[in-house]
Amino acid sequence: MTIIDIRRLQVSFGEKTVVSEASFSVEKGETFSLIGASGCGKSTLLRVLAGLQREWQGEVALFGSPIKAGTRFQGTLRRNVQMVFQDPYASLHPNHTLYRTLAEPLKIHGEQEIEQKVTTALEQVGLPVDAVRRFPHQLSGGQRQRVAIARALLLHPQILLLDEPTSALDMSVQAEILNLLNRLKAQHGMSYLLVSHDADVIAHMSDRAAYMAKGKIARFFDRNALVRGEHRMG
Amino acid sequence: MTETRVQVSGLNIDYPGARVVNNLSFTLGNERLALVGESGSGKSMTARALMGLVRQPGKVSATELNVLGHDLPTLNSKGWRELRGNGIAMVLQDPRYALNPVKTVLSQLDEALTLHQRLSRTQRLEKIHHVLHAVELSPDVLQRYPGQLSGGMGQRVMIAIALVNDPKVLIADEPTSALDARLRNQILELLVSQCEQRQMAMLLISHDLPLVAQHCHRVMVMYQGECVDAMPAAQLPNAGHPYTRTLWTCRPGADTWGQMLPTLDRSQSFSGVNHDNH
């Protein structure tokens, strides 16, 4: 089943076109990666799929139904597409405790037993339960990224968009986060769309990958091509 | 290793409530030494102690702390000014924060020269063009501001500022971690070739073991403020220490697809210092 289908997507900011003619699809249960140099439009593409960048042209379908440009994601769609941002220092509200950060999406979606669910989410990502009373600055970078992942997973999304989830972290903490992502993917049957500039992370995580340059998808790689290291291009 | 340029023994750095570096000893000759470990293991603080940049309320104490014959604990601010730049220089992690955003590249390079040497305007310009050539930048970046540089160019500017006074010891504190994978090797190769041309010693701080193994002679592994392992860089693939092994093998890649990566058991204490390979 195809759960993300993008055809001829184009995003412009004023004069500047940052994504042009991007087309690809992601199957259910797959990890699909986008690789490319800084400024090639990969993060913008992710923001379109997350519903954060609402001005675009082309065709985008999520879970088989088309979405319209200019509209907010609501209800089940909002719940099913979640995103983990690059910088764990910037993506959590500095003045909110972890409990408030984690409980907010549940409250918005009218969930019951919020406290119980927050506790479970923290346990899932390997954080102590008493961390709910802490503020982001009282956590290390790796712990913060775990919180960001816990927040994204609370609503049991089907698609997780990962924008450089480990590039701000140490090599050893990166290994922990990648393991966590792979374990949770197996447990929840999610699909990942991963953006990274690290060829090693891509080779470790992806079923398929695409190379983006100047707003266009230049090449696709299947698993064999990734093993041969064809995605390590200049 | 011909002469000892940096001699550290029994270095402690204390903050109220925590000791961030504990009883660290090492020497650095004309060679490249890597200091590796996770964030918070004390490697950057060690570098800062060598530059005299540990801020209050941090306290540095050591039985010996000597750089190029200068005894650091007794150095006054005039002494520091003579040592920094000419003797020892530092390249920081992120050019976006370490360069002055409201000064051009030219004036920042020029400032480094006027502070540490007495040279005429023409001599300074000559030196600046020379060092720019060494870091493979074209002269038109001189008129630009740091905000107009890409990450890799910014990093090259910082290296140029550090090299312009021809230091004997260069400290590079995670010089590549703000860059993408492609630029990492370029910058390190640049640092290594400059070290060899100028007969400069380098202390490279990093958390990427495979990267330092390619570019350094010796490696010291730090964990929670202590040196837990030390060896020649070529020995890293055969490291016996469990902490070093995990740091070495936790790098993902095509062969690890579908497998869990090795991670650290943080409940374990790694202090059983292995000094055999010094």
Q: Which value, to the nearest 10 degrees, does the dihedral of the CA atoms of residues B210, B211, B216, B218 take? A: -30
Domains defined for chain A, CATH in brackets? 2-227 (3.40.50.300)
- B88-115 burial, b at 16+ Cβ within 10 Å, e below that, comes to bbbbbbbbeebbeeeebbbebbbebbee
Q: Rounded CA gap, A150 and A172, in Å?
A: 20
Residue A164: closest CA among chain B residues belongs to which residue?
B180
User: Which residue, among B207, B221, B268, would best test binding to A if mutated, counting the most A CBs under 10 Å from its CB?
Assistant: B207
Residues in chain A closer than 8 A to B261 (CB atoms): 175, 178-179, 204
Enter the tokens of residue B225: 């403020």
pLDDT in tens, B62-77: 999 999 999 999 999 9
- Cβ <8 Å between B180 and A38: yes
**pLDDT for the residue numbered A98:** 93
Is there a domain that residue B239 lies in? yes
Is there a domain that residue B83 lies in? yes
Confidence of residue B277 (pLDDT cuts 50, 70, 90): very low
Task: Write out the H or E segment, with its range, that includes residue A216.
Answer: strand A216-221
- Cβ <8 Å between A175 and B209: no
A38 touches chain B (CB under 8 A): yes
> In percent, how much of chain A has pLDDT > 90?
61
- Cβ <8 Å between A227 and B261: no
User: Which residue, among B36, B39, B249, would best test binding to A if mutated, counting the most A CBs under 10 Å from its CB?
Assistant: B39
Q: Which residue has the higher pLDDT, A190 or B270?
A: A190
Helix B151-163 to helix B121-134 angle (10° resolution) is 130
User: Which residue, among B153, B250, B259, would best test binding to A if mutated, counting the most A CBs under 10 Å from its CB?
Assistant: B250
Is there a domain that residue B222 lies in? yes
Q: Is the peptide bond before B139 cis (omega within 30 degrees of 0)?
A: no
Enter the tokens of residue A41: 């439009």
Is there a domain that residue B39 lies in? yes
Is there a domain that residue B138 lies in? no
Sequence-ordered alpha helix ranges (H) in chain B: 43-51, 77-83, 95-98, 105-116, 121-134, 151-163, 181-198, 209-215, 242-249
Sign of CA dihedral B98, B104, B105, B108: negative
Is there a domain that residue B277 lies in? no
Number of domains in chain B: 1
CATH assignment of the domain containing B234: 3.40.50.300
Is there a domain that residue B95 lies in? no
pLDDT in tens, B47-58: 999 999 998 889
pLDDT in tens, B156-176: 999 999 999 999 999 999 888
ipTM for the complex shown: 0.74
pLDDT in tens, A42-73: 889 999 999 999 999 999 999 999 999 999 99
Q: For B102, phi and psi rounded to 5 degrees? A: -105, 15
Is there a domain that residue B158 lies in? no
**pLDDT for the residue numbered B275:** 44
Q: What is the CA radius of gyration of chain A?
A: 17
Enter the tokens of residue A200: 């090693």
- Cβ <8 Å between A175 and B261: yes
**pLDDT for the residue numbered B278:** 40
- Cβ <8 Å between B38 and A172: yes
Q: Domain range holding B205?
A: 6-87+165-256
- For chain A, report the end-to-end CA distance as a whole number of angstroms: 34
- Cβ <8 Å between A201 and B252: yes
Contact between A95 and A131 under an 8 Å Cβ cutoff? The reply is no
